[in-house]
Structure 1
Amino acid sequence: MIRDMDLRLVLTDLDHVDWSGFGHAYGSAEDVPALLRDLASPVEETAAEAEQELWSSIVHQGTVYSATAPAVPFLARLVAGGVRRSALVGMLGVIAGSADERGLPVPGAARDAVVAQLGLLLPLLADSDREVRRTTVWAVAQCGSAAGPDARAALRARWAAESDPALRADVLTACALLDPDAAGELCSAVLAGDGPAPVRVAALLVTADFGLPWDGETTACVARLVPLDRHGFGALWEREPLQAIADSLHARGAAGTAIDVVGSALGRAVALRVQGSEHAQAAVTEARWAAESLARRSRSAPARLLPALRPLFDDPATVADVIPLLRTWSQPAPEAVPALLALAQGDGDPADEALAALVCLGAPEAAGLLARHLADRPRALQAAYRLATGETRTPSPGDTAGEETTPLPYDPDLLDAIRVRLAAEPSRERGSVFGGGLAATNEPVYLGGLLAAWGRTARAALPELLAALPRHPLPVSRALAEVADPRADAHVIEALRAQAGQGPAATRQAAAGALHSLTGDAGPLICVLSELLAERGNSLDHTVSAVASLGEAARPLLPLLHTLLAEPPRSRETMPMIRAALGAAALVQELTGDERAVLPVIREGLAWASRAWGQETVKRAAEVARLLGPAAEPLLSDILPLLDDPELSPALVTVLTSVFPQADPLAGLARTTLADRVLAAAGPGSYGRSASAVLTACAALGPTAFTGAQLDVIRDLADGDRRIVGAGLQDRIVLDDEHFRAEARKVLRTLTADPSIP
């Protein structure tokens, strides 16, 4: 522990810093000097609290602030003085590696501050305390190439001296990060020998990360070490090694190699199970996770990895691990059906997961099994509902027309089971993990959705639906609109009319909507929507969307919509309000063509580009502007400055094509130039909606806009191995990308007039 005199030397000039001029996560940094002093307190509780406060203020969740860099020299001196060395070196490493900077006068200033203190940290690489050595290796690595020759030399010296296998692995990784040119020499030597497993795992990661040569023997080395994570992989590096290797290989364009690596790992996991190895389950979990991750990046991975997964279907101890892959990949897997059928007839969550997979795979036995076990198969019911509503339908394999797979077919036994569930008392719980919780809330939605998908084929369920209408008015109203026959079911119309005249507005709206769908009578729906428009509640944007769905029948609501548009801009400061106004503008334009009432609101929406989370509002404004056609020309001064934003350019380009439908250039920009901007927005990792907007813009630009090279880009979007959709809900990424892929092929056929494109 630092003596009082030493502490004064360590913290020299601490009070000469104008901390009030710096900030951290919670505002002024005036509290930082006291926290730095408290780090050296002999009272452990005081020191630990100070450390925690510094973590949450100057390095809040990995973000660095203007106060971070001035604090670095004092943190380094405290470390050199023996104060909380491992923890504070770790803090310095996080500071050096941070890419999230707030308020720094110069980009990279916090990292540079750490680099300037490496002279105090490098001696710790030879410290007798293993944890101090380990943390220091990691912290120095975070400085990257900026660390300089002294750091590189110190790490190479540590590599020669270190005997701890896990630490040697860390040193190898750090050497590669600081000196990539030397990575090949180090890794080749490691992989050519038979050294400790942790070091070989590190060498494999570096080989994948840095584009070093990879051959079949390297893949075999991975398989021999599976599960890789058991070899003491450091938590500081925050990586799943097998997943990281496969993802790095795929990122460098070696998709086939990445798939081979994961396939060999799956094969090794199966072998370990046969051998009864204590590492078998860990190997299965690791390989399954790597397969799932790779399938979200690689379009060819699911089909190629299914054969390697097949042995796991037949093992009761592992089948539950791979079922979710079948659900999210939606790949034909007939070889998995027998094992899934056996499991689906059992009990508990594995049986539910198996039946959900059978539903997604379109197994003909799925409907009957769901009928027999409907009360305790919430995931399977949800899967059937999502198929019925189109949420999980994917283009059929080999289907060049782009048609989608059909929902769960009508089954009389399943209809009878649904009727029983609809008639059940509301307090009845389900025997599953969702019992009394999510399923109890969503079950009426799922049941109603299935009946709605079957339409009038499900008319036998009308008595149960009518009895459930007061309990579950929203989903049941929607189901009645599809299931009832307006010519034969007057009692249903009477019940919906009664429901539309009582209760909360949301339930009245659902019943009135069903009534309008069945009879064409929009009166009750107009009444409730008028009430909701006048209230200006938080769900006003949803109300406007419901109004828009009426089309021509919404004309009686035009005065209220005009009133909404005429309100001052300050009334539209929240996202729901501006989106409601934009929806109203779209409908007013459609029904009246009154551009003067619409243009100001569109301009307000475009101005949201400068706001946090404002991009979706800008896109919605662009959708409305596109409806105006040439009348949107006054908005060009608002649109053109935004074209450089890749996230916004597709939507804005479609506006330009509507303003100048035949012209080239558009507002001074050649269509080919605009095509470049649009295609630049289609990078891997996009959200599904953003990726689809690129295709919409390409179609709007037309065939003459694209050079051969640009068409090749679209071909890669359609048929390249790398998925374009890579963001969103994990269980939706693969499905959303398959939808995008089918859309891309349609657009390519249109742009090239080539009917042979699949």
Structure 2
Amino acid sequence: MTHAYGTATTVPEMLEKVTSDDPAMVERALHDLSGTIYHQGWVYPATVPAVTALYELVSVPTTHHRPRILGLISDIATAVWDLEEHDEAEYDDPPLATVLEWARAARAAVESGIPTLLTLLKDADPSVRAAAPSVLADFPAHDPDLVPRLQEAAGTEEDAGAAASMILAVGDLCADRVDQPLTWLREQTADPRREVRAAAAVAALWCDTDDDLLDAITEEIQAPDSALDDQLWVLDGGRTGFLIAAIGDHPAPQIQVARDALAVPTTSAVHRAGEVMRTWRAAPAELLPPLADLLASDFTKDAVWEIKQGGPDIALVTDSLLPLLNDADDLIAGSALEALARAGDARCVQALAADLAEPRLSFHPSAALAGMKEHANTLLAPIREFLAAPKKGTGFAGNHLTSVMKALATWDDRALPLLPEMIALLERRKAVPATAQALAALGPAAAEAVPFLRRFLGRKHGPQTSQNAAWALWQITGDAEEPLRYLQGTLRSALNDEETERPRVQAAGPSTDRITTDRTYQAAATTALARIAHRNISREPPTDRSAP
């Protein structure tokens, strides 16, 4: 009989400690059991007899931490579900088939205790009555059906938390059924207890109802405390996380809940709105205006931080951002400047130029300047002055000069008037990798920079510097032979490095025919060809569309 760490000789002692009158000793014993008979999603031969003992212990009213015991029993019951998704190749000794055999035996042991769980629905302790349904919900196929027993118990339950848990268990058990108790769930949404209404709304959503039940969920999210707090249902992500997850696949409800939460704002509500905006395309247009309404409140800093990440729809609230450019708080003013710049608002040009001259604000110059490329002509002079004598910046976004050069790489030929300053940076060995990126974006127009870029080829300059210089040379000259000698390593690893290397192999199509027969480049060429064949996202596609 074994557990996670070998022979299970200590399990009886751990179980004996669970009977202690000392709550702290019981807690330690349960912690030890969680790391032995159930460990990182695995169960073991010793788990089966331990389940029987755990049921005996949880049935004794004087046992401490009974909800936690039920939580451990639930973990044991559901271990097989994750293990069934594993690959046999990941297992050696014991093989996956053996591990699954243990897990199925442990689940069967838990299911055999369902009569005990049903008895616990009438336990004197409401926390136990609330915990038992979450274990019953692990057995949707149990015969006889558990739903009627849970409905009956919920109908007479006086404790709001226990009743809510029973309703959630009904919803969980019925989520994939054809015959769902939607009428019963709708009746529960009229319960006078807030937690019960919220649980019924969540359960109905799990059953894919089209009913408008969001008010109940919003009310529960905004409540300062709840009978749902600390229940097994909400342990992983907290009450708010659990309720939000219930509507996770429904963008309209998520947006509405986030908007309603902003009506009674909290810091977490503001940042939750930001998460929703970054998740759903329709969200910024709905959530940016209520976030802008908070710019003159105690939540200014949080609101403007989320607004600046709102994408093109930031344009909807730029008038509300303008006054913040003069805010005494550098982060507020910097976030407002970045938001306006990301939206391409010409009214922030003066503030952006001033910060290039004397960096003070906390923002990301790369994102801000990239958004202002349509106003490049008005920013050329302050950027030219900055490149001549770069300022260190606040450190908020890393190296200030590097950030500026990364932005210029998005300007394409709008940055061509700054070519002399870029070459001067190479001569002074300043921000060479980012400068090479900006020069690469200029293409053949940056021919003057070629001799300066060649100085940075080779290992002694560091891989990033050498690779960026080689890539820039390729883009400027159109000749792949010299750059490929320095890009071989990065092309070989490109399949594992999505962001940095993808552009290099996207543009490689026209040149691969000259290198596939050269042993020096075969590995790199194979990788490049794989990219081109499987990702039709090249910035400049090959002329011959039929090419592999």
**Could you tell me the TM-score, scaled by structure 2's length?**
0.73
Letter in 2 for 1:30: G
- Could you tell me how far apart the structure 2 residues matched to 1:156 and 1:540 are? 53
Aligned to 1:166: 161
Matches within 5 A, 1:194-343: 195-212=192-209, 214-215=211-212, 218=213, 227-228=222-223, 230-235=225-230, 236-238=232-234, 251=249, 258=253, 262-263=255-256, 266-267=259-260, 269-270=262-263, 280-282=264-266, 285-286=268-269, 289=272, 292-293=275-276, 296-297=279-280, 299-306=281-288, 309=290, 312-323=293-304, 326-343=307-324
Cα offsets for 1:315-372 (capped at 9, x unmatched) = 3334544446555552435441111222243223333333332233222234433332
Aligned to 1:384: 368
The 3-state SS of whatever aligns with 1:456 is: helix
Cα pair 2:295 2:304 within 8 Å, conserved: no
Of residues 542-551 and 516-525 in structure 1, the stretch that sits farther from structure 2 once superposed is 542-551
Once the 2 structures are TM-superposed, how far is the Cα of residue 192 of structure 1 from its aligned partner? Answer: 3.2
Once the 2 structures are TM-superposed, how far is the Cα of residue 410 of structure 1 from its aligned partner? Answer: 0.8
Letter in 1 for 2:207: F
Cα pair 1:451 1:483 within 8 Å, conserved: no
- Could you tell me how far apart the structure 2 residues matched to 1:416 and 1:291 are? 32
**Could you tell me the TM-score, scaled by structure 1's length?**
0.55
Once the 2 structures are TM-superposed, how far is the Cα of residue 451 of structure 1 from its aligned partner? Answer: 2.7
The 3-state SS of whatever aligns with 1:163 is: coil
Aligned to 2:93: none
Given the superposition, is the C-alpha separation of residues 287 and 118 from structure 1 closer, same or farther in structure 2, using an over 3 Å criterion?
Answer: farther
Cα pair 2:288 2:317 within 8 Å, conserved: no
Match of 1:423 among 389, 395, 401: 389
- Could you tell me how far apart the structure 1 residues matched to 2:262 and 2:501 are? 54
Match of 1:497 among 454, 460, 475: 454
For the pair 1:354 / 2:336, whether they are aligned, the reply is: yes
Aligned to 2:542: none
Match of 1:95 among 76, 84, 99: 76
Letter in 2 for 1:448: M
Given the superposition, is the C-alpha separation of residues 366 and 143 from structure 1 closer, same or farther in structure 2, using an over 3 Å criterion?
Answer: farther
- Could you tell me how far apart the structure 2 residues matched to 1:44 and 1:86 are? 13
Letter in 2 for 1:383: A
Matches within 5 A, 1:352-501: 352-374=334-356, 375-377=359-361, 379-384=363-368, 387=370, 407=373, 409-413=375-379, 416-417=382-383, 419-420=385-386, 423-424=389-390, 428=392, 430=394, 434=396, 439-441=397-399, 443-452=400-409, 453=411, 454-459=414-419, 461-462=421-422, 465-466=425-426, 468-469=428-429, 471-482=430-441, 489=448, 492-500=449-457
Aligned to 1:80: 59
Once the 2 structures are TM-superposed, how far is the Cα of residue 456 of structure 1 from its aligned partner? Answer: 0.9
Given the superposition, is the C-alpha separation of residues 119 and 415 from structure 1 closer, same or farther in structure 2, using an over 3 Å criterion?
Answer: farther
The 3-state SS of whatever aligns with 2:101 is: coil
- Could you tell me how far apart the structure 2 residues matched to 1:365 and 1:553 are? 45
- Could you tell me how far apart the structure 2 residues matched to 1:227 and 1:292 are? 17
- Could you tell me how far apart the structure 2 residues matched to 1:97 and 1:78 are? 20
- Could you tell me how far apart the structure 2 residues matched to 1:32 and 1:83 are? 23
Letter in 2 for 1:202: A
Matches within 5 A, 1:674-689: none
Cα offsets for 1:703-725 (capped at 9, x unmatched) = xxxxxxxxxxxxxxxxxxxxxxx
- Could you tell me how far apart the structure 2 residues matched to 1:119 and 1:547 are? 62
Aligned to 2:109: 113
Once the 2 structures are TM-superposed, how far is the Cα of residue 169 of structure 1 from its aligned partner? Answer: 1.9
**Unpaired segments ≥5 residues, structure 1:** 1-17, 271-279, 389-405, 566-580, 591-619, 627-650, 652-688, 694-699, 702-758
* RMSD over aligned Cα atoms: 4.7
The 3-state SS of whatever aligns with 2:189 is: helix
Given the superposition, is the C-alpha separation of residues 37 and 320 from structure 1 closer, same or farther in structure 2, using an over 3 Å criterion?
Answer: same
Cα pair 1:59 1:65 within 8 Å, conserved: yes
- Could you tell me how far apart the structure 2 residues matched to 1:246 and 1:83 are? 31
- Could you tell me how far apart the structure 2 residues matched to 1:334 and 1:429 are? 27
Cα offsets for 1:279-314 (capped at 9, x unmatched) = x333x74476268438735x544445555x266255
Percent pairwise identity: 22
- Could you tell me how far apart the structure 1 residues matched to 2:322 and 2:379 are? 18
The 3-state SS of whatever aligns with 1:316 is: coil
- Could you tell me how far apart the structure 2 residues matched to 1:138 and 1:207 are? 17
Letter in 1 for 2:272: W
Given the superposition, is the C-alpha separation of residues 514 and 315 from structure 1 closer, same or farther in structure 2, using an over 3 Å criterion?
Answer: same
Cα pair 1:66 1:104 within 8 Å, conserved: no
Letter in 2 for 1:165: A
- Could you tell me how far apart the structure 1 residues matched to 2:261 and 2:209 are? 24
Cα pair 1:69 1:109 within 8 Å, conserved: yes
Cα pair 2:366 2:406 within 8 Å, conserved: no
The 3-state SS of whatever aligns with 1:317 is: coil
**Unpaired segments ≥5 residues, structure 2:** 85-98, 539-544
Given the superposition, is the C-alpha separation of residues 192 and 158 from structure 1 closer, same or farther in structure 2, using an over 3 Å criterion?
Answer: closer
Cα pair 2:233 2:242 within 8 Å, conserved: no
Letter in 2 for 1:440: G
Once the 2 structures are TM-superposed, how far is the Cα of residue 189 of structure 1 from its aligned partner? Answer: 3.5
- Could you tell me how far apart the structure 1 residues matched to 2:187 and 2:8 are? 47
Letter in 2 for 1:188: R
The 3-state SS of whatever aligns with 2:83 is: strand
Cα pair 2:402 2:434 within 8 Å, conserved: yes
For the pair 1:133 / 2:117, whether they are aligned, the reply is: no
Aligned to 1:584: 525
- Could you tell me how far apart the structure 1 residues matched to 2:294 and 2:219 are? 23
The 3-state SS of whatever aligns with 1:365 is: helix
Aligned to 1:37: 13
The 3-state SS of whatever aligns with 2:6 is: coil
Cα offsets for 1:244-300 (capped at 9, x unmatched) = 777756857xx66x37xx447635743xxxxxxxxx333x74476268438735x54
Given the superposition, is the C-alpha separation of residues 182 and 161 from structure 1 closer, same or farther in structure 2, using an over 3 Å criterion?
Answer: farther
Cα pair 2:11 2:33 within 8 Å, conserved: yes
Given the superposition, is the C-alpha separation of residues 522 and 96 from structure 1 closer, same or farther in structure 2, using an over 3 Å criterion?
Answer: closer
Letter in 1 for 2:394: R
Given the superposition, is the C-alpha separation of residues 56 and 408 from structure 1 closer, same or farther in structure 2, using an over 3 Å criterion?
Answer: farther
